[in-house]
């Protein structure tokens, strides 16, 4: 399996992350300071949430 890199904006990410949390598919959530990206690792998928 390969790891995909997905870039999403904050609004999209909020709903995607909440849905995946409910599905218990998120393994790691890394939240850095607001000026830096938030990285969410979902199984074999890595989503990068870019700051506005």
**HSE on the CB side for 43, CA within 13 Å?**
7
pLDDT of residue 12: 57
Q: Is 49 exposed, middle or buried (0-12, 13-18, 19+ CB in 10 A)?
A: buried
1 pLDDT exceeds 60?
no
Q: What is the mean pLDDT of residues 7-18?
A: 58
Contact 26, 40 (CB under 8 A): yes
Contacts of 41 (CB under 8 A, 6+ apart): 26, 27, 28, 29, 30, 47
């Amino acid at each position: 399996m390969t790891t995909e890199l997905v870039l999403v904006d904050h609004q999209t990410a909020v709903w995607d992350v909440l849905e995946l949390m409910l599905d218990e598919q998120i393994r790691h959530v890394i939240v850095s300071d607001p000026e830096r990206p938030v990285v969410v690792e979902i199984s074999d998928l890595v989503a990068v949430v870019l700051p506005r």
